[in-house]
Amino acid sequence: GAVVSQHPSWVICKSGTSVKIECRSLDFQATTMFWYRQFPKQSLMLMATSNEGSKATYEQGVEKDKFLINHASLTLSTLTVTSAHPEDSSFYICSARDEGWGYGYTFGSGTRLTVV
């Protein structure tokens, strides 16, 4: 089945620094990947759609200059949280869909970001 690898699984950073999270499709190519944010005991909230070779599409209320997305290849999308603040602390999850595998979306294992 389709596998999506997300790295790192957790990261602690100081306020004002930037953090990059990687999302890789291991055994399939993904022209589109999705980035979500999840707060404790809540559901997933879509942040943006990452498009290979073009600009990401951000959901309303998500700051594109704050959350930089790059989808430079068919197997890799990155999310960079710039000038992180404690309120950016959250669980970030990416997903992708293997079109040859049907309708299901595969999710990464998530990244726990803590900004201190």
Residues in contact with another protein by CB under 8 A are: 4, 6, 32, 34, 41-46, 49, 91, 93, 95, 97, 99, 102-110, 112
User: With respect to another protein, which residue has the nearer C-beta, 97 or 115?
Assistant: 97
Compute how many other C-beta atoms are within 10 angstroms of the C-beta atom of residue 58.
Answer: 17
**Collapsed DSSP state (helix, strand, coil) of residue 41:** coil
**What's the closest the beta carbon of residue 45 comes to another protein, in angstroms?**
8
**What's the closest the beta carbon of residue 105 comes to another protein, in angstroms?**
6
**What's the closest the beta carbon of residue 15 comes to another protein, in angstroms?**
23
Closest by CA to 81, choosing from 32, 26, 8, is: 8
Closest by CA to 112, choosing from 94, 85, 92, 95, is: 92
